[in-house]
Structure 1
Amino acid sequence: MPHHLMNLRHVPDDEADEIRALFEAHGVRYYETPPSRWGISMGGFWVHDEDEAERARALLDDYQDQRRTRQRQDFQDRQARGETGFWFLFRQRPVRVIVAMLAAVVILGLSLLPFLHLG
């Protein structure tokens, strides 16, 4: 019976590539199903054997702990350099931020318009 190891929906390409390399380096016999374009099927990494699933899950747990640590450190480094947050995004792409804010105000206005005309 197949064992689902990991969902591939919203997984970045670099992470999926690292997991493939990890499985191949450790000789895990896995197969992969891609996520659907419309979000109906999740896709993922699978194995057929229960023992193989346990070994692969242990490898995945270690990998994900290491990746989490790397990603947190990267975020903290970017935060220390001032490369995160609203003002950084505004300085990088002011037109996009202004358009998004205007769209939010228009949507909010259209949503509240019926309630404003009640009185």
Structure 2
Amino acid sequence: MSKLLLNLRMVPEDEADDVRGFLDDHRIEYYEIEPSRWGISFGGIWVKHDADIPQAKRLMAEYQARRRDAAREAHDAARRDGTAETFGDIARREPLRVALTALAIVVLLGLMALLPYYLMRR
């Protein structure tokens, strides 16, 4: 029975290509379901044979650990260089979005603070 190895929701194309590559390199048979036209299904990479699932999961775990470590190193390097994105960068680039988000937070906190008072008055 086939088993889902990777849900392609919000997966960068280079990561999906890497997964296809290591499955091909280890001769693990798989098939891919394309995302639906209306976004109901995001697609996925499925391992065909039950016998290959443990090896595919092990390879996937190793790949994700390497990718995680590389992303952390890149982020740390960007922080050291001063090129990492900060809240100030986002606020300068998208001031309306930041202001509306802050306003929504304040409104929700206000409603939460008033809710017990309203419920007790009933």
TM-score (norm 2): 0.69
CA contact (8 A) 1:82 1:88 kept: no
1:63: Cα distance to partner? 1.4
Corresponding residue of 1:73: 73
CA 1:111–1:13 in 2, change beyond 3 Å: closer, same or farther?
farther
How many Å separate the matches in 1 of 2:31 and 2:43? Answer: 11
Matched, 1:103 2:104: yes
1:55: Cα distance to partner? 3.1
CA deviations over 1:23-74 (Å, ceiling 9, x no partner): 2344321012356734xx6753222323322332232222112111111112
Corresponding residue of 1:8: 8
Between the aligned residues of both structures, percent identity stands at 37
- CA RMSD of superposed structures (Å): 2.9
Corresponding residue of 1:52: 52
How many Å separate the matches in 2 of 1:97 and 1:90? Answer: 6
How many Å separate the matches in 2 of 1:58 and 1:34? Answer: 24
Amino acid at match of 1:72: R
CA 1:115–1:3 in 2, change beyond 3 Å: closer, same or farther?
closer
Structure 2 residues not aligned, in runs of 5+: none
1:84: Cα distance to partner? 3.2
Corresponding residue of 1:84: 85
Amino acid at match of 2:28: V
Q: Number of aligned pairs?
A: 117
Structure 1 residues not aligned, in runs of 5+: none
